[in-house]
């Protein structure tokens, strides 16, 4: 008689065998590799931000001055997720949070001088991540991959899911 753990392991193996060729499984693999490479390069550069925080920091940097709700809308994250990241970035001295003068319920976000410097470093790191990820690709494969992923994302965003 097989032990329960062995049976669960077999069930798990079957699940992965079934899921291996699905889009969602493969996209997760790509996501994991890219985040691992990016977090490694970010760490090497002594940048005090994790990949998960980048969209919010870069949104604030690119907008110059933006409300917390606008950031949530732009990066497609829920308000509580944005709030947690805002608190972390503020503690690290990368952004400043102030109350909107016209609407006291709104928080206005801006990058600090340090945050601006870090955001500029991040642009360079993103380029390095792409170089490292695509070092295994032929030039035409790189372009085809980017175009396919972009077209897929564009189509999926049109779905009302």
So what's the pLDDT on residue 11?
67
- Assign residue 63 the CATH number of its domain: 1.10.10.10
Helix axes of 68-75 and 79-91: crossing angle, nearest 10 degrees: 120
pLDDT in tens, 103-136: 888 899 999 999 999 999 999 988 888 888 888 8
CA distance linking residue 92 with residue 80, whole number of Å: 19
Q: Classify 42 as helix, strand or coil.
A: helix
Task: Quickly tell me which residue has 């709104």 as its tokens.
Answer: 106
| Alpha-carbon torsion angle 51, 109, 72, 94, nearest 10 | 10
Taking the chain (161 residues) in runs of 10, the rounded mean pLDDT of each run is: 64 73 84 87 90 93 94 93 96 94 89 96 89 86 89 84 58
What is the residue range of 27's domain?
A: 4-158
How many structural domains does the chain have? 1
Angle at the Cα of 81 from the Cα atoms of 80 and 86, rounded to 5 degrees: 95
Q: How far apart are CA 25 and CA 144, in angstroms?
A: 20
Q: Residue 6 has what pLDDT? A: 66
Give the model's pLDDT for residue 78: 92
């Amino acid at each position: 008689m097989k032990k329960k753990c062995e049976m669960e392991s077999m069930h798990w193996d079957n699940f992965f065998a079934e899921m291996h060729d699905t889009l969602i499984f493969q996209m997760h693999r790509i996501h994991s590799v890219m985040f691992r490479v990016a977090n490694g390069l970010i760490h090497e550069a002594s940048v005090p931000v994790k990949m998960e925080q980048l969209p919010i920091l870069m949104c604030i940097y690119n907008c110059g001055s933006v409300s917390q709700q606008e950031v949530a809308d732009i990066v497609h994250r829920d308000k509580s997720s944005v709030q947690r990241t805002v608190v972390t970035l503020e503690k690290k001295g990368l952004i400043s949070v102030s109350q909107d003068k016209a609407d006291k319920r709104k928080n206005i976000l801006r990058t600090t001088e340090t945050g601006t410097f870090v955001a500029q470093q991040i642009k360079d790191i993103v380029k390095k991540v792409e170089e490292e990820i695509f070092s295994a690709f032929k030039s035409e494969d790189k372009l085809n991959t980017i175009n396919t992923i972009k077209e897929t994302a564009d189509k999926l965003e049109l779905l009302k899911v």
